[in-house]
């Protein structure tokens, strides 16, 4: 049957429909978990006799955590849905790295230091690029946030840049938990997490790198991951340089 479907050019439509269904399924699943927890806590508050203030405080605190998770999940879903849509407006302009790298890096200096980790910044190039600066800032936040999340205390997170032929690269490297070769391609997919139980503590839904990939694709760039030996990962983002 796929032969006939291919002949009338239906395969891409069916594939994209299948992907949409999978996406809705995964999204519903991710939404259901926090909602079930909040529902349980509310029912408990309403029905449990003789509860103490401590019981109540615990139920409220757990519910609030779950509401925060729901908030970040729905924000991420909106970002993905908007960048899928043809109507999304991008604000492309000629720019140089200092105009989009500095802002997102600043807050991470404090966060990383407060967690007893080292943050090294070595940005030395100033090529002209044609980018939507806000989108690139968002991409950088995703990568720095991951590097911070998956690097234990005393680790090092580094951002540096280089020029490779007609491409500009910025690289975020960490000395964290690392990513197995068999997982490297998968982590850029929607809702994919290497270790679900580990990541549920750090609050991830597996959407960050999917959003990062979409942002990079829109800019005709690439994103990839490699090992940072002896341990950790390096995410390499590459954009074409505009020769004026
Ligand atoms: P999440 O919100 O779970 O971090 P992402 O899409 O950003 O979602 O990342 C997908 C998965 O890739 C993560 O759950 C984690 O397992 C892995 N990952 C991402 N960045 C790193 C990193 N710097 N070090 C180790 N693992 C990482």
Range with the poorest average pLDDT among 2-6, 40-44, 166-170, 214-218: 2-6
Mean pLDDT (whole number) for 97-117:
93
| Ligand 1 pocket residue status of 205, Cβ below 6 Å | yes
| Ligand 1 pocket residue status of 112, Cβ below 6 Å | no
- When pLDDT is cut at 50, 70 and 90, the band that residue 7 belongs to is low
Backbone angles phi, psi at 238, to 5 degrees: -130, 135
| Ligand 1 pocket residue status of 76, Cβ below 6 Å | no
- When pLDDT is cut at 50, 70 and 90, the band that residue 2 belongs to is low
Range with the poorest average pLDDT among 87-96, 107-116, 205-214: 87-96
Q: Are 139 and 238 in contact (CB under 8 A)?
A: no
> Does the interface ipTM go beyond 0.95?
yes
Q: What is the pLDDT of residue 201?
A: 54
Name the 3-class secondary structure at 239.
strand
Q: What is the pLDDT of residue 24?
A: 87
Q: Are 169 and 163 in contact (CB under 8 A)?
A: yes
Query: Ligand 1 atom 8: the closest Cα is on which residue?
Result: 206
Statement: residue 8 has pLDDT above 80: no
| Ligand 1 pocket residue status of 206, Cβ below 6 Å | yes
Q: How far, in Å, from the CA of 176 to the mean position of ligand 1?
A: 11
pTM for the full predicted model:
0.84
* Rg (the chain; Cα; Å): 21
Q: What is the pLDDT of residue 54?
A: 92
Q: Which helix (H) or strand (E) holds 104?
A: helix 98-114
Q: How far, in Å, from the CA of 132 to the mean position of ligand 1?
A: 24
What mean pLDDT is reported for the chain?
89
| The ligand 1 atom nearest the CA atom of 204 | 2
Q: How far, in Å, from the CA of 159 to the mean position of ligand 1?
A: 17
Pocket test for ligand 1, best of 147, 155, 187 (most atoms within 8 A of CB): 187
Q: How far, in Å, from the CA of 49 to the mean position of ligand 1?
A: 42
- When pLDDT is cut at 50, 70 and 90, the band that residue 198 belongs to is low
Mean pLDDT (whole number) for 67-82:
87
| Ligand 1 pocket residue status of 150, Cβ below 6 Å | yes
Residues 13-60: tens digit of each pLDDT: 666 777 788 888 888 988 998 999 999 999 999 998 888 999 999 999
- Among residues 117, 121, 125, the alpha carbon closest in space to that of 105 is found at 121
Range with the poorest average pLDDT among 59-73, 134-148, 193-207: 193-207
Query: Ligand 1 atom 19: the closest Cα is on which residue?
Result: 146
Token output for 36? 């079930």
Q: How far, in Å, from the CA of 146 to the mean position of ligand 1?
A: 6
Q: What is the pLDDT of residue 49?
A: 86
Please state the separation of Cα 26 from the chain's center in Å.
16
Q: What is the pLDDT of residue 22?
A: 84
CA angle 186, 191, 195 (to 5 degrees): 70
Q: How far apart are CA 152 and CA 91, in angstroms?
A: 37
Residues 114-148: tens digit of each pLDDT: 999 999 999 999 999 999 999 999 999 999 999 99
Mean pLDDT (whole number) for 75-80:
85
Q: What is the pLDDT of residue 84?
A: 67
Q: How far, in Å, from the CA of 206 to the mean position of ligand 1?
A: 7
| Ligand 1 pocket residue status of 132, Cβ below 6 Å | no
Token output for 118? 């080292």
| Ligand 1 pocket residue status of 204, Cβ below 6 Å | yes
Buried b (16+ CB within 10 A) or exposed e, 101-122: beebbeebeeebeebebebeee
């Amino acid at each position: 049957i796929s032969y006939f479907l291919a002949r009338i050019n239906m395969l891409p439509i069916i594939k994209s429909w299948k992907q949409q269904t999978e996406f809705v399924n995964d999204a519903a699943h991710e939404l259901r978990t926090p909602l079930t927890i909040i529902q349980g806590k509310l029912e408990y508050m309403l029905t449990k006799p003789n509860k103490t203030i401590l019981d109540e405080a615990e139920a409220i605190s757990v519910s609030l955590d779950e509401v925060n998770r729901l908030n970040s999940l729905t924000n991420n879903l909106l970002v993905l849905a908007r960048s899928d849509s043809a109507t999304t407006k991008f604000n492309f302009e000629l720019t140089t790295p200092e105009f989009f790298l500095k802002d997102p890096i600043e807050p991470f200096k404090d966060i990383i230091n407060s967690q007893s980790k080292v943050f090294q910044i070595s940005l030395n190039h100033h090529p002209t690029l044609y980018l939507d600066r806000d989108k690139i800032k968002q991409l950088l936040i995703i990568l720095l946030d991951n590097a911070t999340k998956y690097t234990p205390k005393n680790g090092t997170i580094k951002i540096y840049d280089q020029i490779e032929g007609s491409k500009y690269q910025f690289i975020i490297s960490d000395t964290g938990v690392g990513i197995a070769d068999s997982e490297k391609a998968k982590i850029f997919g929607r809702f994919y997490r290497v270790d679900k139980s580990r990541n549920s503590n750090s609050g991830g839904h597996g959407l960050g790198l999917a959003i990062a990939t979409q942002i990079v694709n829109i800019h005709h760039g690439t994103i990839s991951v490699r090992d940072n030996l002896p341990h950790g990962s390096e995410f390499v983002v590459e954009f074409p340089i505009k020769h004026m």
